[in-house]
Structure 1
Amino acid sequence: MEAQHRISTNRLADNAGDQILLERLADAVKPNLPQSAHHLPWLLASPFRYGFGRPSRFRAAHMMPGIFYASEKVETAITEAAYWRLLGFSRSPGFQKPRTPTPMSAFSVGTESLRALDLTQGALAKDSALWTHPSDYSATQALGATAREAGIELLRAPSARAKDGVNVAILDPAALRPPPRPHSSWAFTLNGDTLIATQELGARAMRFTTADFGL
């Protein structure tokens, strides 16, 4: 996640009371949070609130609630985030890209469910090409809708962006086991059509280009 959440509202308020009021006003115009997510901290609950009108891999447009997408390894999550960031800029001609690194925070959370589907094993793995198509989400959205109707809480699926990566789509907040835990901090730096993700206080760095993703 982008680390701007730490300063996105307090710089608009003069004191703590004004900030609380600002947050309440903002909450009043947000989409409703599903009842099943009310017990979750905002970091875990927010994905279920948003997405109306905008499709995702396992959820068609105009269908709520949203879906919590995660990755089993941080490298997969970084790759997924890099893809969407480069895609957004590639579709915004003339937009001035950030000149300074963007701070990103990775966190981890536990999951547990007796009602899950694993698309990486068994008969479902035979249709891997459908689950990982780079742009056609019709098969995955149909699967997601059917899974929700059947009471499935969690989908484990191969990543379409990271080779050998595995993602997890949480359809039901009941599959999450809070609290979220800090994992690592990263800086995303853009240089032309290239994005470099560098771990803060670490030696790891990952490089991505629009060509890597076929953009």
Structure 2
Amino acid sequence: MIWQDCHGEQHIVTLSGSLFRLVESQQQVATLSLVDTLAEQALLEQLLEQTKPAVPAHAAGLHYLFKTPFRYPPLKWGSRFGAMHEPGIFYGGSSVEVCLAESAYYRLLFWHSIDAAPPKASLRTEHTLLTARYHSRKAVCLQQPPFNAHKAALTDKTSYQQTQQLGTAMRLAGVTLFQYCSARHPQQQLCVGLFSATAFTTKQPDSTSQWLCELSAEQVVFKQAGDSELYQFSAELFKVDGKLPRPV
């Protein structure tokens, strides 16, 4: 295993920095469309909150954009560093571009997982891009020696097996935060993962901005509201042997 081969506990460091994370702007819009007043919306959201999984103690009192990933388990195949049975991980990118590249892959995965024919040639959605600062005395830099000797496994586009084993080992060692190279960005820019919300330096995002996304079978396009710059990601960028990989 990577952690044992690298004597991981000898390479736990202190790390600080900033991250970006993109989420769908759906919570308030979805509930507001069901009620007539803001008071009714507040009551509905309170009732919905009671049906959700409990917030872990380490994420209590944080902004909902911070705590949400920790209260839900990963997807049915897990995440890159999280097995199906483990608590969720807060993932982010070290730049806007790598954050959008990772998001584009999962948008395409969503599109190609639809069983029926899509109702339209493209799907437009609204998103929020948040920024946050982090600091941890129990961090690991997987892009640096000795871990980078395992870069092929750490950036495997089709299998999460070795990275999930590594994630479990890091949790057991008390690691709260880690950096790693993106498997979806062409230049493999850095991403960040938080096992614990204690690594956040504030209780709410430093900033948020609104973004639009246009998704089709061939590409994903992002644009910040009020800005003309487009971030385009072709599906070909993420394919392996001509197919969009579904991690296992």
Fold in common (TM above 0.5) = yes
- Offset, 1:192: 4.2
- Tell me which residue corresponds to 2:175: 152
Aligned to 2:59: 37
Match of 2:230 in 1: 205
Supply the distance in 1 between the matched residues of 2:104 and 2:25 (Cα, whole angstroms).
Answer: 15
- SS of the residue corresponding to residue 113 of structure 1 reads strand
Q: Where do residues 1-215 of structure 1 align in structure 2 (5 Å cutoff)?
A: 1-51=23-73, 54=76, 55-64=78-87, 66-93=88-115, 94-97=117-120, 99=122, 101-162=124-185, 163-178=187-202, 179-214=204-239, 215=244
Unaligned segments of structure 1, at least 5 residues: none
Percent of aligned positions that are identical? 31
CA contact (8 A) 2:56 2:71 kept: yes
Structure 2 distance, partners of 1:39, 1:182, is 18
SS in 2 for 1:9: helix
CA distance in structure 2 between the aligned counterparts of 1:43 and 1:51, rounded to whole angstroms: 16
Asked if the contact 2:213–2:222 (Cα under 8 Å) also holds between the matched residues in 1, the reply is yes
Write the deviation string for residues 102-123 of structure 1: whole angstroms up to 9, x where unpaired.
2222110000001000001110
Aligned residues: 214
Partner of 2:227, secondary structure, is: coil
Query: Would the aligned equivalents of 1:89 and 1:97 in 2 still touch at CA under 8 Å?
Result: no
- Structure 2: stretches of 5+ with no match in the other structure: 1-22
- What is the SS of the residue equivalent to 1:12? coil
Mapped to 1, the partners of 2:200 and 2:137 lie a distance apart of 12
Tell which has more relative contact order, 1 or 2 (C-alpha 8 A, sep 6+): 2
When residues 191 and 91 of structure 1 are mapped into structure 2, their CA distance, relative to the original with a 3 A threshold, is closer
Distance 1:50 1:76 in 2: 23
Change (3 A) 1:99 1:211: closer
Q: CA deviation at 1:184?
A: 3.5
Listed one character per residue, the Cα deviations across residues 8-64 of structure 1 (whole Å, up to 9, x for unaligned) are 112212223322221122112211111111021111011100125631111100222
> What CA distance in whole angstroms lies between the structure 1 residues aligned with 2:52 and 2:154?
31
- Tell me if the contact between 2:139 and 2:178 (Cα under 8 Å) persists in the aligned partners: yes
Deviation at 1:185, TM superposition (A): 3.0
Describe the shift of the 1:85–1:109 C-alpha distance in structure 2 as closer, same or farther (beyond 3 A).
same
Structure 2 CA distance, aligned partners of 1:153 and 1:197?
31
Tell whether the 8 Å contact from 2:112 to 2:217 is kept in structure 1 after alignment.
Answer: no
Deviation at 1:68?
0.4
Deviation at 1:182, TM superposition (A): 2.4
RMSD: 1.8
Following superposition, the deviation at residue 195 of structure 1 comes to 1.7
Give the 3 Å change call, closer, same or farther, for CA 70–53 of structure 1 in structure 2: closer
Question: Is the CA contact 1:100–1:189 (under 8 Å) kept in the aligned structure 2?
Answer: yes
| Structure 2 residue matching 1:84: 3-state secondary structure | helix
CA contact (8 A) 2:126 2:212 kept: yes
Q: Is the 8 A contact 2:108 2:217 kept in 1?
A: no
Deviates more, 1:88-97 or 1:151-160: 88-97
